[in-house]
Structures are given as C-alpha cells and as structure tokens.
Amino acid sequence: MDNSEEINDESDHDDQCVLGYYTRSKRRKLNNKKQQEETTTSSHEDLSERKRKNPIMFLPSEILQAVFKYMSHHELSVSVRLVNRRFKINAENVLNLAFKKLEKKLDGLIKTAEVSLAYMQDDMEIKCVLKMLNMVEVTKTQHAIVISTIWRYVYNDYYRTNRACMYGGLLIDAYHTFIWKFLHCPSQLYASNEVKNVYVLPREVTRIVQMTKTFSVYFDKLNEEPFQNSLVYTGCKILDILDCGKFVQKLVLTEKATADAFVANYTYFFHNSWFIGLPIAVTKDMDWNQKQRMMHMRLRRIVLAHNDMFLQQTQYERELMLRPNPATRVKKPGNNVYTGYGDVVDTFFYYGVMNDGAYVQKFRLDDDNDEDDDVDEAVQNQEVNEAHPNVARNNSEEDIFYHIAHLGFRMYVDVKCPLSYAPLQFLEKLDVDQQESLKRRHRTKGPSSIDIVFECEGGVVPAPTHGVPVPFQAKARVILFCRVVNVDCPYKKCLYLYFG
C-alpha cells in the first residue's frame, strides 16, 4: 500500500483521533479539486482547439501575401494591418513592394508609348498616344517626389533608422487604376471632351497629383516631426527633393566619397522661378523638426510646380516635331503662374515659378504674342522694368537685355556627412561591393553639415533706414544652415538650424 493510502485509511488510527475525520474530508476536497482541475484543463484545451481551427494563421507568409494581393491596398493599410502582428508584417510587405514596383511599370508604359509612336501614321492616333505619354510622364514625376520623401524610412538599407511603411494604400490604388485603364481602356483617359485640350489631365491623373502633395506633407508630419533623435535630418533629404527636378540645371562642383565620409558641392538653377526670404518679427515659436518639415514642404512645392510648367513646354515641342503636318492646330501651353508664401519663425518666404508664355506676357517681350491661346491663369501685365538711377549699370543703354527682368534663382549647396547618409542618387551609383559594405555596418559615426544659399537675381527687397527707403537690392539672399555635431550612434545627436 502506498503512502497516500496509509494516510487516508481511517482503520489505521484510533477511534478518538480526529485525524481520520479530517483526512476523510481532505480526500473529498482533493477529489473535488482534481475534478475542477480536469474540468478547467479540458475547457482550456477546448478553447485552444477552437482557436487553432482558424487555418489562415498557419499559412506560410508567401501564401498569406498572395491572398492579400486580392484586396485593395487601401484595405490593407487601414484594416488588415491592425488585425495582429503577423498580418501587419505581411500587409506592409505587400504595400512597400507594390509602390516600389510602380516605377518599373511606369517606365514600361513610357517605352510602350514611344514604340507605338514609331509605327503610327494617322495624325489623330499620334495625338492620342502623345496625350497618353504625357499622362505617364506626369505620374512618374509625382512618384519620384514620394520616393524622395519616404525612402529613408521605408526602403533604406544603408543605415538603421526609425522604420515605417508605405501606408498610402489609396495612392497605390490610384496608380493601379490609371495603369489598368492605360492598358485596357485608354479611351476613358482621353475622352472626347478632353482630347481637345492636350494639357487637360483626366481625373485619374489629377487625383494622383493632389494625393501626392497631401501624402508627402502627412508623412513628414507623422513620421519625421515626432522623432527627436532620428538620423534622417542630415540635410541630404533636401538634395533628394531637388534631384526630382526634371528640368532643374544641376552642376556638380565637388563630389567625393571615402570609406566613412561624403563631401559634395552642388548648384541648382531654377529657370523662371523666384525664392525670396524677408526678415519679419517673430510671430510663433517652432521646434527644429517643424522648421525642417516646413522647408521640405516648400522645396517640394517649388520642384513640383517647376516640373509641371516645363514638362508642358517639352511636350508641346515634341508634338510639333512628331506632327509636322497636323490636321488640327497644335496649341501652346497656357500662360501659367504658381506662387506660394509662408513664414518660418523670423523669415517670410515668397516663392513661385512661371512658364515661358507667362514670362513673355508679363514683361511684354513679344508684341506679337498670340492672345487667342487658352490661358489657365490670368497674369497681369507689368510695365517694362526700368533701370534704377542709384543702381550701378554694368551694361550699355543699347543692350536690350539690360531692360529684361532676370527671373530665376540659384541654390548653392555644400554638404558633408557620413557616406551612409548621402543622397539617394549618389548611393545608387556606388558599386555592389560598396553598397554591401554600407549595409553591413551597424553604427555610423561622424559630423554632418549642410550649407544652402538661395540667390535670386530678380528679387528686390526694400531696406528702409531711419524711415527713409533706400534703393532696392539687386539680389535677395537666404541662407539655410543645418549642422549635426558628433553623431556617435543612430539614436543620439545634436541639431542646430538657423535662418537668416
């Protein structure tokens, strides 16, 4: 007989001993407890069995992502990502990969349209295909702007930083809708009421343009501004935005890279544009992250506007070349002007761009300017700028270009940072061994600095002295200085930003 039977056997004890009573009661309690444990265990097993009956949780990630591809990207971003951790990881992989593939798809559409133009003879068909090609080129410029905004967070393999995903599922769906209509029913894109004006974009494209601006601002505000110790503020994001300028004249003065550092000096010239900063009284306080976000927003807007203006001019010249004997008149782009303004702490920024037609009309350089063309935005005529008597004249009176307003601004950029933080275009040009060496690094050390100077020759700034205005300055100058000192780890740094 084992020990438990000896203890619980009442016959082994004296009749006056109360142990038998309690041991018998203890046996009942133990039996009840054992039954409760068995019941509880069985209930837990049943519950776990019920939970394990969901087969989708046991699918491989590849199968799960294939299932997610049948859903809209908007549903993946706002609903599926919130289910659980596994759904979040796989949904984000689908979103990130889908947006990155858009660039190759757009390049394929451009190549398809260019090949089609080589085999077409009918003038109306050429006109329609050119309109389709114009649409794809516009969407590609928008895609490049989004990539410059998110790549350091989403597609960054060069250094560790705060990770995010391309959660703009609605924007991805808009791209896919446009591509599907381009391939399967292009007549819906160049409807009869829109083909009359080559420069009127369908609502599928205008929606992408509007959503690009909204998403970029929202992404900066949500993913950049809240983080105080994120190594995305090296200043090179400004270069990523400027490199999206399709018609910006970029000059590389210096560009050197070592194993640990990147040093470069660039100049960017924006034709028919202006970017002026005026000192004002301090109206509100801003932290460093908000200042940087506002600067990125303004540069992004001027780059987008510059691309839109001169892309239309390039498309017009291409249509003149491909349609030497047009059945219908090839219209010039409308006289368009874009302006923007805003203040950052103690500086008021005024910026904008105009196309060649608006420039000619604004300064009356061509008396025979055709006024029958469609004008998208009214531009007021202005008298010819006369030379100021107090400004030194370097040209003769016979030189007609002395009376022409010089419009355009130039940016001088001097940057120094670790190689991992270099602009995207430079990192993509590195060989495979250098890229792999950067990806294997877990720590990045070294100071980072960027010095940007805006020079606008046509900008005039009144400079009053003792209440008496003095002659206008011939050059407006804005300096942006950003410095990162002693960066020792991916999550610690000191930042300073000055506007003046």
pLDDT of residue 118: 87
pLDDT of residue 159: 78
Of 68-72, 166-170, 321-325, 492-496, the least confident: 492-496
With CA atoms as reference, report the closest residue to 480 among 411, 423, 421, 418: 411
With CA atoms as reference, report the closest residue to 474 among 482, 464, 483, 462: 462
pTM (2 decimals)? 0.75
- Dig out the tokens for 362 from the structure: 């604004």
Containing H/E element for 415? strand 408-418
pLDDT of residue 246: 92
Cβ atoms of 233 and 495 within 8 Å: the answer is yes
Judged against a pLDDT cut of 80, whether residue 386 lies above it is answered with no
Judged against a pLDDT cut of 80, whether residue 100 lies above it is answered with yes
Report the Cα–Cα distance between both ends of the chain, in Å, rounded. 96
Judged against a pLDDT cut of 70, whether residue 204 lies above it is answered with yes
Judged against a pLDDT cut of 60, whether residue 114 lies above it is answered with yes
Judged against a pLDDT cut of 60, whether residue 221 lies above it is answered with yes
Judged against a pLDDT cut of 70, whether residue 128 lies above it is answered with yes
Q: Considering the chain, what is the average pLDDT of its residues?
A: 75
Higher-pLDDT residue of 454 and 254 is 254
pLDDT of residue 460: 57
* Span 434-444, pLDDT tens digits: 888 888 876 67
Where does 236-290 show beta strands of DSSP type E?
A: 249-257, 261-271, 273-279
* Span 162-174, pLDDT tens digits: 788 999 999 999 9
> At residue 416, what are phi and psi to the nearest 5 degrees?
-145, 125
The rounded distance, in Å, linking the Cα atoms of 458 and 473 is 9
Q: Per mean pLDDT, which of 90-99, 352-361, 474-483 is the most reliable?
A: 90-99
Please report, rounded to a whole number, the percentage of residues in the chain having pLDDT higher than 90. Answer: 29
pLDDT of residue 47: 53
Domain boundaries, the chain: 3-51, 54-224, 235-388+396-500
* Span 275-320, pLDDT tens digits: 887 778 877 777 777 888 888 899 999 999 999 999 999 999 998 8
DSSP 8-state secondary structure symbol assigned to residue 324:
S
Cβ atoms of 476 and 460 within 8 Å: the answer is yes
- Computed on alpha carbons and rounded to an integer, the radius of gyration of the chain in Å comes to 33
* Span 457-470, pLDDT tens digits: 776 555 444 444 33
Mean pLDDT along residues 384-405: 47
What sign has the CA pseudo-torsion 459, 463, 467, 470? negative
- Dig out the tokens for 412 from the structure: 């001088």
Judged against a pLDDT cut of 60, whether residue 235 lies above it is answered with yes
CA-angle at 155, arms to 149 and 158, nearest 5°: 105
* Span 173-199, pLDDT tens digits: 999 999 999 999 888 887 644 445 667
Cβ atoms of 251 and 226 within 8 Å: the answer is no
Q: In what order do the strands lie in the sheet with 337-344?
A: 273-279, 347-354, 337-344
Judged against a pLDDT cut of 60, whether residue 478 lies above it is answered with no
pLDDT of residue 484: 36
Mean pLDDT along residues 334-361: 86
* Span 10-60, pLDDT tens digits: 444 444 444 444 445 545 555 565 566 555 555 555 555 555 556 777 788
3-state class of 473 per DSSP? coil
With CA atoms as reference, report the closest residue to 71 among 204, 142, 181, 172: 172
The rounded distance, in Å, linking the Cα atoms of 76 and 120 is 41
CA-angle at 67, arms to 63 and 72, nearest 5°: 145
* Span 318-334, pLDDT tens digits: 988 888 888 778 888 88
Q: Hey, what amino acid is at 188? A: Q
Cβ atoms of 285 and 355 within 8 Å: the answer is no
Of 21-30, 83-92, 190-199, 233-242, the least confident: 21-30
DSSP 8-state secondary structure symbol assigned to residue 443:
-
Cβ atoms of 359 and 271 within 8 Å: the answer is no
